[in-house]
Amino acid sequence: MPPASRAFVVRHGNTFARGEAPRRIGAGTDLPLVESGRDQALALRTHFEGRGIRFDRVLASPLLRTRETAALIAPDLAAEPTAWLREIDHGPDEGRTEAEVLARIGAAALERWEAEAVPPPGWMVDAEARLAAWRGFLGAFPTGNTLLVTSNGAARFLRLALGLAPAKLRTGAHAEVDETGLLVCWDVRP
């Protein structure tokens, strides 16, 4: 009997160097991985290999940081560019520090995004399309192990599609979903 199919959702590695102030970076900014981000991707590769996990397919957001992460985790497979895995658009907050974002939208708006996935004013997020894409993926679960490399903004909608509250997926961390739609783990870093 073949092993059960699984999907591993990975958030790309770090895009900010140690000591650099993090900013809201979404679909409008195509940053490469920094050294620590490449190290995170390689740690994920070692983690998966240590568990005996080989990937049959790789889907990745079209952004450079996700494609680089995918290539480091599964170097023998070409990542398929997947538009619905693209990061959200932070609109007027793109490239701004967290303090600047809070000053513009307020803590309550940011809390609603974190707890309910309600986008703050000016952010462009088609929540229904994202939910439909995740539900479509889960409903036609692929055979074998699939690696999906994306961002936190896109990954949070997986949890919503499973009927769970949104939660952050840290850089260099992964989640696992089995073919029955059970979330096996969330936000695991090797």
User: Can you list the alpha helix ranges (DSSP code H) found in 74-150?
Assistant: 98-105, 107-116, 127-139
Q: Can you give the pLDDT at residue 2?
A: 56
Give the CATH number, domain containing residue 23. 3.40.50.1240
- Residue 172 domain flag: yes
Q: Is residue 101 one of the residues assigned to a domain? A: no
Our count of domains for the chain comes to 1
What was the pLDDT predicted at 1?
Answer: 47
Answer whether residue 52 is part of any domain.
yes
pLDDT in tens, the chain (190 residues): 456 899 999 999 999 999 998 899 999 899 999 999 999 999 999 999 999 999 999 999 999 999 999 999 999 999 999 999 999 999 999 999 999 999 999 999 999 998 888 999 999 999 999 999 999 999 999 999 999 999 988 999 999 999 999 999 999 999 999 999 999 999 999 9
Cβ-Cβ contacts under 8 Å for 62 (sequence gap 6 or more): 81, 82, 83, 86
Distance CA 87, CA 137 (A): 17
18 falls within a domain: yes
| 104 in a structural domain | no
- For residue 4, the model assigns a pLDDT of 83
Tokens representing residue 16 in the block: 């900010």
Q: State which residues form the domain around 155.
A: 6-91+125-188
